[in-house]
């Protein structure tokens, strides 16, 4: 962005936090002025990689911000973006979220195969393998959703974009975040310098991947999270093997028939990534198919991260239904930060068995996992698919709180709340 001047006046309500994304230079500090200039936070030494620095400012009233370069002579500091928010907190319901976070939704691992349509917008079509043999015509996501996000207002409906995840993406835009898709044929990279390298995003959302990540992609994903990225991991139902039917008479969710469905794709990432193969996020996905209508077995403890996901700016997440989903087993010994958020109604609250959703931190990054893709399904998208509104459409009203869960989790993963 371009700053009009070296400093900018903020509205009188401000008790701001200022997030500054910068790269390629030397040392700088953020100062604030009410009556005299005061440094906020620590001096930042920039690197050649765009990096977010967040400053908590404890000033009230009108505040001016100044970025003061301390070293490096005439070398340039590249400032890509500055976001200023009220410092309203927000761990226990309500509160504000930092805007300008960048969300990338994966569309490169057959998230559109069969009756799935886990995309935020899809303008094109392609032939995709189907488990019964041959191919079907599926809608195909492109990088930038159309029409432009700039046309979204508070009253824009989710059909502004075409995909079963469009409601999620539109809601993020309404709250000032940015969204893109990673199209099929584009590899997942981190530190590779490409336009869609994960280093350009805050959160990577992967809803029901149906193909294994390559070895290089697994390295990229682990390093992205370790270095501060957010990974939203969504799985679906499965069975002990992907051949035949599961306990409920359904085919496992290997929609393209290559032998791998999303539980197996996630477990492959967590046990075969070459960096830490011992379930480094502290959980493993079980090969099951369960239904809950809905679970109210929600975490009630004081874990601050869990509170932000369950009771954040997008409201309270207290009910989670599964429409053929999988569960996870927690391994706190592998990662002590793993925290169950919902369990099956029949499971022990706070236990390690039969978790339906969870969070963990890893390095300086964060992960959230949920065992059913249906909860993010807004019910509209590819007209050739059987889509059901699990996002907000269950009757009676208030039956579930899936949009609150997904949005709060998004904000937490982005460190926006």
Per CB under 5 A, residues contacting Ca ion are 112, 117, 138, 158, 166, 210, 236, 254, 256, 258, 260, 323-324, 372, 374, 378, 380-382, 385
The dihedral over CA atoms of 120, 220, 191, 52, expressed in degrees to the nearest 10, equals 60
**Comparison of 210 and 352: residue with beta carbon closer to Ca ion:** 210
Q: How far is the CB of 105 from Ca ion (least distance, A)?
A: 13
Q: How far is the CB of 370 from Ca ion (least distance, A)?
A: 10
**Comparison of 95 and 263: residue with beta carbon closer to Ca ion:** 263
**Comparison of 73 and 133: residue with beta carbon closer to Ca ion:** 133
Q: How far is the CB of 299 from Ca ion (least distance, A)?
A: 22
The torsion region of residue 41 among left (phi > 0), alpha (psi -120 to 50) and beta comes to: left
- CA nearest 236: which of 257, 213, 255? 255
Q: How far is the CB of 415 from Ca ion (least distance, A)?
A: 27
Q: How far is the CB of 285 from Ca ion (least distance, A)?
A: 13
Rounded Cα distance between 304 and 310, Å, is: 10
Q: Hey, is 78 helix, strand or coil?
A: strand
- Number of neighbours of residue 47 by Cβ within 10 angstroms: 11
**Comparison of 160 and 411: residue with beta carbon closer to Ca ion:** 160
Q: How far is the CB of 201 from Ca ion (least distance, A)?
A: 22
**Comparison of 254 and 394: residue with beta carbon closer to Ca ion:** 254
**Comparison of 87 and 210: residue with beta carbon closer to Ca ion:** 210
CA 71 to chain centre: 36
DSSP states along 283-347: EEE-S--EEEEEE--B--S--HHHHHHHEETTEE---EEEEEE--EEE-TTT-TT-EEEEE-TTS
CA 217 to chain centre: 17
């Amino acid at each position: 962005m371009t700053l009009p001047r070296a400093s900018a006046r903020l509205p009188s309500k401000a008790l701001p936090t200022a997030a500054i994304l910068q790269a390629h230079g030397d040392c700088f500090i953020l100062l604030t002025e009410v009556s005299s200039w005061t440094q906020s936070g620590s001096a930042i030494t920039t690197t050649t990689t765009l990096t977010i620095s967040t400053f908590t400012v404890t000033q009230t009233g009108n505040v001016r911000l100044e970025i003061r370069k301390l070293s490096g002579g005439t070398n340039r500091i590249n400032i890509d973006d500055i976001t200023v928010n009220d410092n309203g907190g927000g761990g226990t319901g309500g509160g504000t979220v930092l805007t300008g976070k960048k969300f990338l939704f994966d569309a490169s691992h057959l998230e559109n195969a069969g009756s799935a349509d886990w995309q935020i917008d899809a303008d094109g079509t392609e032939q995709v393998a189907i488990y019964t043999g041959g191919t079907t015509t599926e809608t195909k996501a492109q990088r930038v959703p159309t029409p432009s996000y700039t046309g979204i207002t508070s009253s824009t409906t989710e059909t502004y974009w075409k995909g079963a995840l469009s409601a999620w993406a539109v809601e993020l835009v309404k709250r000032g975040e940015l969204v893109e898709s990673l199209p099929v044929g584009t590899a997942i990279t981190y530190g590779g310098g490409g336009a869609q390298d994960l280093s350009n995003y805050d959160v990577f959302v992967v809803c029901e991947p149906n193909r294994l990540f390559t070895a290089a992609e697994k390295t990229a994903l682990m390093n992205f999270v370790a270095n501060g990225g957010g990974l939203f991991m969504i799985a679906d139902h499965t069975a002990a093997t992907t051949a035949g039917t599961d306990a409920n008479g359904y085919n496992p969710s290997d929609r393209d028939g290559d032998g791998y469905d999303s539980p197996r794709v996630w477990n492959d990432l967590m046990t075969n990534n070459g960096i830490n193969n011992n379930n480094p996020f502290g959980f493993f996905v079980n090969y099951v198919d369960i239904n809950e209508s809905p679970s109210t077995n929600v975490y009630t403890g004081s874990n601050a991260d869990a509170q932000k996901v369950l009771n954040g700016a997008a409201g309270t997440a207290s009910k989670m239904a599964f429409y053929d989903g999988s569960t996870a087993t927690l391994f706190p010994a592998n990662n002590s930060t793993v925290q169950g958020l919902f369990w099956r109604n029949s499971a022990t609250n706070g236990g390690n068995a039969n978790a339906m959703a969870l969070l963990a931190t890893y390095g300086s990054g964060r992960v959230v996992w949920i065992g059913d893709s249906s909860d993010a399904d807004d019910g509209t998208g590819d007209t050739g698919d059987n889509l059901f509104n699990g996002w907000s459409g269950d009757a009676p009203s208030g039956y579930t709180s899936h949009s609150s869960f997904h949005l709060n989790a998004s904000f937490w993963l982005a460190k926006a709340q």
